[in-house]
Amino acid sequence: MLSPKFLTDKVALVTGASRGLGQAIALALAQEGASIAAVARTEDALKDTLGAIRATGGTIEAFPLDVSNEIAVEAGVEKIAERFGHIDVLVNNAGVTRDGLLMRMKSDDWDTVIDTNLKGAFYFTRLIGRMMAKQRSGRIINISSVTGLVGNAGQANYAASKAGLIGFSKTVAREFASRNITCNVVCPGFIDTDMVKVLGEEFLAKVIERIPVGRLGKPDDIAAAVAFLASPAASYITGQILTVDGGMVM
């Protein structure tokens, strides 16, 4: 059984925290007592997340940067470490899509998705993993997708980035386990966010027909899974994939 506020005195860094899944994850971790280092491209984009957490008495600071830029990530992590002193939970959530059929996909669209979704996670994990290794504790949670498990026509770049996160996470789990650091993956299905809504009602109606529970997921469904993996109750879980998709790819 989890104790209330099980992340009190902990610091959680969440990338892509401005909206959708990232915002819900930041809110859920803050509700459990964590101080939040919120990362997004601009501070203005984080305005709603900052307001929501501060309205409940939580602690959150904005760190605007481009997660695909190695130098920017290094500078940002240094600022976060100076502000909070330690980082206990890392959630690599930032992601973009540049959809298109493979035969027509531009190299720039491939690079943009891989650089943001996969290399960004690498940059943060490499830096923060060192910090966690010194403190001999930490939780790393990477947000993949069911697309990384089964693929999806028109999303070769996105599927590759999300499948890459799974292999990356399993390796991180093996390398850091002896330091009391876990690394796990959450694979969302179709979640009711702005990124999914652009697919259109007709397409989503067909998607829902394939979901056994009969509905799209909610951002809070993903946030709850992340909070569990960040909790003491998950201390013996590492290198695992938690698929939160209403049973779609079981």
pLDDT at 1 over 60: no
pTM, entire model: 0.96
Per-residue pLDDT averaged across 201-230, rounded? 95
239 token code pair: 């290198």
Q: Provide the pLDDT for residue 78.
A: 98
Confidence of residue 166 (pLDDT cuts 50, 70, 90): very high
pLDDT at 198 over 90: no
Per-residue pLDDT averaged across 35-56, rounded? 98
Q: Are strands 35-40 and 60-64 parallel, antiparallel or unpaired?
A: parallel
Q: How far is CA 153 from CA 43, 98, 139, 146, 192, in A?
A: 34, 12, 33, 13, 20
Per-residue pLDDT averaged across 84-108, rounded? 97
Per-residue pLDDT averaged across 137-152, rounded? 97
Provide the percentage of residues in the chain whose pLDDT is more than 90: 94
Q: Provide the pLDDT for residue 99.
A: 95
- Tell me the longest C-alpha to C-alpha distance in the chain: 52
Q: Provide the pLDDT for residue 113.
A: 98
Q: Provide the pLDDT for residue 124.
A: 98
Q: Any idea which residues carry the catalytic annotation?
A: 158
pLDDT at 4 over 90: no
Contact 125, 89 (CB under 8 A): no
Q: What stretch of H or E contains 171? A: helix 156-176
129 token code pair: 């993993």
Cα dihedral angle (177, 225, 158, 203), rounded to 10 degrees?
A: 160
Instruction: State the DSSP code for 196.
Output: H
Per-residue pLDDT averaged across 145-169, rounded? 97
pLDDT digits (tens, 9 = 90+) for 219-249: 999 999 999 999 999 999 999 999 999 999 9
Cα dihedral angle (18, 40, 54, 191), rounded to 10 degrees?
A: 30
Average pLDDT of the chain, as a whole number: 96
Q: Provide the pLDDT for residue 196.
A: 82
Per-residue pLDDT averaged across 194-200, rounded? 80
Q: Please tell me whether residue 8 adopts helix, strand or coil conformation.
A: coil
Asked which of 57-66, 151-160, 166-175, 197-206 is least confident by mean pLDDT, the reply is 197-206
End-to-end Cα spacing for the chain: 27
Q: How far is CA 152 from CA 78, 92, 209, 224, 248, in A?
A: 37, 22, 17, 26, 13
User: What's phi and psi for 102, nearest 5 deg?
Assistant: -55, -45
Q: Please tell me whether residue 143 adopts helix, strand or coil conformation.
A: strand
Q: Provide the pLDDT for residue 201.
A: 87
